[in-house]
Chains A and B, each alone.
Chain A
Amino acid sequence: MIKLPEFSEDQEYRILRETAAAYAAKELGPQAEQLDLDPARWRIKEAIAKAEDLGMLAALIPEDYGGGGLDDYAFCVALEEIAVEEAGIAAVLLAHNAALLPAAMGEFKALITGVGPDAFPVCLAFPGEVSFADGKVKGRVPFALNAQECSLITLLPGGGGGTQALTVRGDAAGVEINAEPYQMGLRAARAGSIRLEDAEASNVISGGDMAGEVQRVLMLGLASIATGISRNALQKAYAYARERYQGGKMIIEHQQMRIFLAEMLAAVEQGRALVKKACEDGGLAPAMVAWLRATERACKSATDGVQVHGGYGYMRDYGMERLMRDAKYCQMYPMTSQEALLRLLEISETG
């Protein structure tokens, strides 16, 4: 096996890492192919219900309010471990927790206790063009994670610097959810587009820069998921390279294969380091950089991973091509990389 890069982590993170890995291997690994091919609702619910023990159903909500009380880094550690088995489920949990984030920030705490497990996963309708006036919501969200058949939607009006968050019931009048006609990656987080015509807000939460905070957490989380994908690609490709004989030797002996694998290893190191730093810094800029780099590397890891597998990598039952599709979505959401770069410079200019 390959020795992954070591980071000095406190005991609690180490334990969480092991617990999350065990959960993912037991609950997600065996049905990863099915979760991707046919992401039916009950399976998703079933899969994430078991994540409660990790504190992943209200991860970023303080424990006093009945949440998991994880800090950013712990949350990222858990996501990475889960993504190693099934990035789609990691995306479900990320979007769900980002959707609950305003409850941790704002004055409104009942959101957590008010929605039972039936409402899980909560849909995150972000980013989108949404306006809010007189208790009614209007607008359009092109791509919302966990949208299909959701019972609760979190919306963030005002784009990049909103101080308000709203929740709308999925079945409220004026809410139209259209399932994504064909979702390429992260399929467990069944996405859809949402139209709102004077839908009634069930909760209004005010606090700090909610939209900015949601964006930051999304980017950190996606960077971790991408790192998990790189790890998965590395594990699978390394194992395959040691059992496939071609050109008179095991393909692990071919230089080009070794270079592919080393690149994946470097991607894991880079992803983890950037996420760790971004968690310590706490700003949007480092989270963006982590997201930009980790997702780009994950796309390469997955594509090269398929290449190592040759024809087998292209077939669905090897579980390799899925990584390519998932990694690409980590890179395409919540914004395009060029938009992120433009934004990065904007928030880094000091006057």
Chain B
Amino acid sequence: MGVKGLSDRGRQLLLDFPPLAALREHDRKGIDEIIGLVEGCAAYKRDVALPMALDIDEQMEKEPEYFNWDMMREACKYNIFSLAIPKAVGGLADKYMISGMALAVEELCSACGGIGLALAAHSLGVAPVIASGAMAHWDTVLHEIVEEEKRGNPVLMAYGITEPSAGTDVEEPEFLEVGKIGMEAKKTKGGYVLNGRKCFISGGSEAKYFTVTAATDRSRPLETWTTFLVERDMEGFSTPRVELKMGQRACHAAELLFEDVFVPDSHVLGYEGDGMANGILIIMAASRGPVGAIANGIARGAYEHFLAWTRERRNGKRPIDEDRIRMSLADMLGIIQENRGLYINHSLVGDAVFRSAFTHPIFLSAFLIPRSIRASKPYAALLNSYYGKAFVNILFRYFIKDDEVTDMLAKASLAKFNCADNAMELTSRALELMGTDDSVERRWVEKAFRDAKLTQIYEGTNQLNRLVVYNTEIARTLKVEVPGPFKKGVS
């Protein structure tokens, strides 16, 4: 395979992901970049995450407001906050945007689900700025993230979808149509006034920028669902509460409160009313695979600690010397590789979709304009004008086609619920085999068990994800009318 010059982790990665090794024969440079990324995350895991994960988890129970900034500052050294930001703006996202993200996330979450989530939730917050083609903010907000990261300052983003009375309802078009939506954005002169609450927002209490969904008319949420870019220092915005979670505690789940927050027109991402079709659905299509990777990272972490436990000698015996334990280890490895297959499937589909956009000459030509101009106000105004928006919209719809997004969404949702269920099964079983042994490894596996449960819930419950798989891939194979995620609410 020509693995000369690769580190042990790099070699292992190619063994773990055969498709990657095959791709590498065609595109050594591109794949080696990904390998580099994962090697960086492996170093972060070893040097930063593993030494502090248990302490953070315990600290959060005593003090739910506590947040460990060190883990975020350290992450800057490994460019983890640039993962989702396109190369054109100085980030790392290139030909293998989703695969790179997924592999990095698995590596991080194999150290700690909570730390991994804190780092990954930022990229989820970034995603709507990219997927909506809101290029007016690329050279300001995204550039700031990249530049500050170089200086070791984490500038974070968070994505706010969930509301107190709408969780599943805001993740799926049919449900949104009948949902009881609380977040409202009333049109006013020069912008919108936002009122309402979002809850359980990962990374919400630390982020500087937020991408938030709201309806401009709450009685017609699907047709008027819109994505806004909100800044922490906007008048009337606050994050009054963080939850005490069962697991993944290193990352806060925060409440976002909007009290007459004025958001200018320039901060509408995409168009008013396309917050579902060109917002949430594309984001979910891009991110549910990496959420599968979060689950698999948690499972893999549990497996690594369980394996270490089986080799500890107690009363003269080692669990690993028993056949039943060896067979269980094989089961666990099987689960982990199965999960990988699923999310890599999705990632490669996603890569292809985004690659067609971000490596396209027309798209790249926009970045031949000097950055000083691109970051200027008049240029942003031009992009935010009717014609500017129309141009970007046509460009992006041309690159990112609805049926491709449907494909991505199907694979992503399938990977998400399977990986989550499998992670739950693996961690649960590992504990069942360990019993109440007084080993530090048990604590790690218990934490993984608590961490894993959340992966069945966020990014759409597993039940919703199953319905999405039916509504996309299965409905298409049956040639039945797909409930119109891409027919409704698209401007």
Question: Could you list which residues of chain A lie within 8 angstroms of chain B, going by C-beta atoms?
Answer: 37, 129, 142-143, 180-182, 184, 191, 193, 245-248, 254, 256, 299, 303, 306-307, 310-311, 313-317, 321, 324-325, 328-329, 331-339
Contact = CB atoms under 8 A, between A and B. Distances in A.
B165 A143 contact: no
A157 to B, nearest CB: 14
B187 interface: no
B13 interface: no
B438 A321 contact: no
Interface of B: 54, 58, 61, 162, 165-169, 174-175, 178-180, 199-200, 243-247, 253, 315, 324, 424, 428, 431-438, 440, 443, 446, 449-450, 453-454, 456-458, 461-463
B276 to A, nearest CB: 15
Of all A-B residue pairs in the complex, the 8 with the closest CB atoms, nearest first, are A248-B178, A321-B246, A143-B436, A142-B438, A336-B435, A316-B244, A193-B438, A184-B446
Given A184-B449, A247-B168, A299-B428, 20 more contacts: A246-B168, A246-B179, A247-B169, A247-B178, A256-B463, A307-B461, A311-B199, A311-B457, A314-B246, A315-B200, A315-B243, A316-B243, A317-B243, A324-B453, A332-B431, A332-B434, A333-B435, A333-B436, A336-B432, A336-B435
A182 B199 CA distance: 28
B437 A142 contact: yes
A315 B175 contact: no
B245 A315 contact: yes
Contacts of B244: 315-317
Given A184-B446, A246-B175, A336 B246 contact: no
B438 A303 contact: no
Contacts of B253: 311, 315
Contacts of B54: 182
Nearest to A320: B246
Counting chain B CB atoms within 10 Å of each CB, the highest count among A191, A299, A315 belongs to A315
A331 B432 contact: yes
A131 to B, nearest CB: 12
Given A246-B175, A316-B245, A307 B324 contact: no
26 contacts: A129-B315, A142-B436, A181-B443, A182-B54, A245-B165, A246-B167, A246-B175, A248-B175, A299-B428, A306-B246, A310-B167, A310-B457, A311-B167, A311-B199, A311-B457, A314-B247, A316-B243, A316-B244, A321-B246, A328-B431, A328-B449, A331-B432, A332-B435, A333-B435, A336-B435, A337-B432
A177 to B, nearest CB: 12
A336 B434 contact: yes
A307 B457 contact: yes
Contacts of A191: 436
B86 to A, nearest CB: 31
A3 to B, nearest CB: 26
Contacts of B424: 303
A256 B431 CA distance: 27
B167 A314 contact: no
A314 B432 contact: no
Counting chain B CB atoms within 10 Å of each CB, the highest count among A307, A311, A328, A337 belongs to A311
B169 to A, nearest CB: 5
A289 B392 CA distance: 65
Contacts of B162: 311
Nearest to B445: A184
A182 B443 contact: yes
A310 B168 contact: yes
B450 A184 contact: yes
A339 B453 contact: no
Contacts of B433: 336, 338
A262 to B, nearest CB: 15
Counting chain B CB atoms within 10 Å of each CB, the highest count among A248, A307, A310, A314 belongs to A314
A287 B167 CA distance: 42
A307 B462 contact: yes
